[in-house]
């Protein structure tokens, strides 16, 4: 028998601050940084294109997200019941990604996250073109890749 919808949507939020503090070393200058990163964005209250685009726009860069997280069951259900196109879902919902950390040292970032009970993985790379490409894992799957220009 499947899980109840209430059990799926009422899970506690993941808090990323303790992991980010450990990555930077926090306010104590004697504490070493455990991971180097160039920026981080919390993907809530908007989707990946808006949040990541905000971080990247000053540099004129974009990204290719070729290994995104699988959207959780409640988001799949919202998409199907609301007949929400994949592009709109990725523009509005987190689609399974809670935090994106831009780093040249993903292994260290992932390791610090694990110490805080977070699941991380490399989802893509930064590019010189001001466009965010996301490999589509939405419910509709009418396009393999979704394109989002980074607003100037």
pLDDT 10s digits, 23-40: 999 988 899 999 999 999
pLDDT 10s digits, 85-106: 999 999 999 999 999 999 999 9
Q: Looking at residue 1, what is its pLDDT?
A: 56
Q: Which residues pair with residue 133 across a beta bridge?
A: 64, 147
- Residue range(s) defining the domain that contains residue 40: 5-149
Q: How many domains does the chain have?
A: 1
Q: Looking at residue 6, what is its pLDDT?
A: 78
The CATH number assigned to the domain holding 100 equals: 3.90.650.10
DSSP states along 73-139: HHHHHHHHHHT--HHHHHHHS-TT--EEEE-S-HHHHHHHHHHTT------EEEESSSEEEEE--SS
Q: Looking at residue 5, what is its pLDDT?
A: 77
Between 53 and 5, residue with greater pLDDT: 53
């Amino acid at each position: 028998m499947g899980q109840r919808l209430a059990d799926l949507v009422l899970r506690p939020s993941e808090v990323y601050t303790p992991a980010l503090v450990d990555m930077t070393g926090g306010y104590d200058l004697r504490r070493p940084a455990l991971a180097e990163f160039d920026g981080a964005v919390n993907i809530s209250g908007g989707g990946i294109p808006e949040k990541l685009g905000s971080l990247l726009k000053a540099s004129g860069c974009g990204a290719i997200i070729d290994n995104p997280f699988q959207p959780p069951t409640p988001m799949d259900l919202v998409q199907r019941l609301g007949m929400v196109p994949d592009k709109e879902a990725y523009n509005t919902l987190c689609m399974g990604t809670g935090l994106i950390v831009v780093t040249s040292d993903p292994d260290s970032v992932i390791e610090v996250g694990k110490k805080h009970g977070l699941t991380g993985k490399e989802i893509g790379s930064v590019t010189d073109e001001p466009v965010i490409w996301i490999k589509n894992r939405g419910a509709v799957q009418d396009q393999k890749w979704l394109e989002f220009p980074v607003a100037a």
